[in-house]
Amino acid sequence: MWILRDVIPKRTAPAFGLRNMGTHLKHIPICPPCGIFLPSNHLFLLPLPGLCGHRGVSAPNTTVPKGKIVGGNKSWPGAWPWLVSVWLNGELMCGGVLVGDAWVLTAAHCFTGSRNELAWSVVLGDYDLTKLDEGERIVPVSRILSHPKFNPKTFHNDMALLELSSPVSPSPWVTPVCLPEHPTELDTGTLCYIIGWGSLYEDGPAADVVMEARVPILAQDTCRSALGSQLFTSAMFCAGYLSGGIDSCQGDSGGPLTCWDPASERYKLYGITSWGDGCGERGKPGVYTRVAAFTDWIQQQMEKSPSSREPTCFEMLALAELSPEKQQAELSHLCAFYTQLCSPSASPAACTHAADEKCKAKRQQCGNPPVKMLSRCLLLVSLCMPIHPPALPSAPAPESRCPGLNASAQQVSSVRELYRWILQVPESDLAMIFQEVLVDLASKNAKGLYQARVRATVGHKGTTFAGLIGLENDSLYRSMPGLIALALENGEPLGLPVKTGSKG
């Protein structure tokens, strides 16, 4: 039986599996300010300004212990400075790759469950998910641009661009990768690198540190024969060994496949990890979105003027900080974007009305300004704090590293509970409709509960959350979705559809 794991997909295919993470929480034992680079004690090769595709940190002299990506090795901090991790509400969902000072390329299927940019962040310079790395930086996502022709059923055009809330400066740990200049076909057999934090084997645990492996590019005819012509499209290519053993897996979705270009002496991005049938199975290579087929779209999106872009939630929420007069003027300026979407045959009045409605819908999607901005602050605070903070001492003691941290943590916890967005939902609309429950069947605990991600609507608004659920009747009633269902359905249990598939 195919089992869909985590929230969204690495690799995923129509009837096969997605390769997402969704269960790893960032755990940081020290507390420097978020959004800055930490100083380094390591020797490194500084990347030249403006140059892409150069690895900034040289390999350590010590032997790198072997592990699996599937079938790969552990990398070292800074080895792949364009690799980023993509987080939803403080939970790792996918990999990504830095392609500009404020742009990250990843897989479109990563955003099937949530497209609200306020919930997403990117960590650059990331290596070890269990601690804060040197050079690591957390940056909020300000815009999500999935390819307009992405097909969530076939994963055709599985590509998305993320615009960061602020540009990042190059460093030994953070450097963009080069994009191919034109739709060049790689020679069959070319060895390229796949990297990420995905599962070490199918349905296995995720890696704590970045894993890497070299895989050969396979001929298109070979891919169609192995995977089926109905699933394999011209926007895809496959790589790996038909004998199996080395592959990307769950949690690697959106990560890069990069190849060394001897002519320019740089690494170039040729693939985005998309889907696969199993992990490292014989005759089932991994499938990647062909980046060279999208270079024009990527450049077009990154070069668009602000007036030609849909306003972001950051811009909408910033209106609350303006005076009423300026607020209305700025809102009219932001909403002017939607008039560009009007049909040529529409009358001016109809166009204005349609633009106003779309702008209103965008503001509603962004939510209540104070609550949403608070949620973003809480998210960044949570990424900068340990999951298990040290207990308060019995007697006052000087706080050497983070003065006031414990008191601030308690205040954050109180505010988090006080301003839950769900409290804004009218009582008449307070009902939860479960749409999808993605379960990790390998995570059963002593109480019979499983780790899962639940997608549902509350008050006609979509939401996604992680939790523990029960698949048997007895344990279902002890799980959070079961308790909520009982409370919202007048004491009657609500069945939870468990979706199956190869991975997620």
pLDDT per residue as tens, the chain (504 positions): 222 223 333 443 333 334 444 445 443 322 333 333 333 333 333 333 357 988 866 555 433 333 334 455 788 888 999 999 999 988 888 999 999 999 999 999 999 878 888 889 999 999 988 888 888 999 999 999 999 999 988 889 999 999 998 899 889 899 999 999 877 778 889 999 999 887 655 555 667 889 888 899 999 888 888 888 777 788 899 988 887 655 455 557 899 999 999 988 999 999 999 887 656 567 778 899 999 999 999 999 999 887 788 888 888 888 888 888 888 888 888 888 888 888 888 888 888 888 888 888 888 877 654 444 445 444 444 444 433 333 333 344 444 455 566 666 665 665 555 546 666 777 666 677 766 677 777 777 776 777 777 777 776 666 676 777 776 655 554 455 555 555 555 444 333 333 333 334
pLDDT at residue 478, rounded to an integer: 47
pLDDT at residue 204, rounded to an integer: 56
Residue with tokens 């359905």: 489
Using alpha carbons, select from 267, 313, 302 the residue that is nearest to residue 101: 302
Instruction: Provide CB contacts within 8 A for 201, sequence distance 6+.
Output: 68, 70, 249, 279, 280
Quote the CA–CA distance of 357 and 147 in Å, as a whole number. Answer: 24
Tokens of 376: 């973003």
Quote the CA–CA distance of 241 and 189 in Å, as a whole number. Answer: 10
Quote the CA–CA distance of 476 and 385 in Å, as a whole number. Answer: 32
Using alpha carbons, select from 132, 94, 137, 17 the residue that is nearest to residue 504: 17
- Residue 424 neighbours by CB distance under 10 Å: 12
Using alpha carbons, select from 460, 461, 470 the residue that is nearest to residue 437: 470
Using alpha carbons, select from 4, 11, 5 the residue that is nearest to residue 274: 11
Instruction: Provide CB contacts within 8 A for 333, sequence distance 6+.
Output: none
Residue with tokens 């930086």: 137
* Backbone φ, ψ for residue 376 (5° rounding): -65, -40
pLDDT at residue 176, rounded to an integer: 95
Residue at 303: amino acid letter: E
Task: Let me know: does 228 contact 91? Beta carbons within 8 Å.
Answer: no
Residue with tokens 């070292």: 76
Domains of the chain as residue ranges with CATH: 18-304 (2.40.10.10), 306-367 (no CATH), 427-488 (no CATH)
Quote the CA–CA distance of 339 and 100 in Å, as a whole number. Answer: 29
Quote the CA–CA distance of 249 and 203 in Å, as a whole number. Answer: 9
Tokens of 343: 């049909």
Residue with tokens 């704090």: 385
Quote the CA–CA distance of 279 and 503 in Å, as a whole number. Answer: 9
pLDDT at residue 14, rounded to an integer: 35
Which segments of 338-428 does DSSP mark as H helices, in order? Answer: 348-366, 369-383, 405-418
pLDDT at residue 406, rounded to an integer: 66
Residues taking part in catalysis: 109, 158, 253
- Residue 261 neighbours by CB distance under 10 Å: 16
pTM: 0.64
pLDDT at residue 477, rounded to an integer: 46
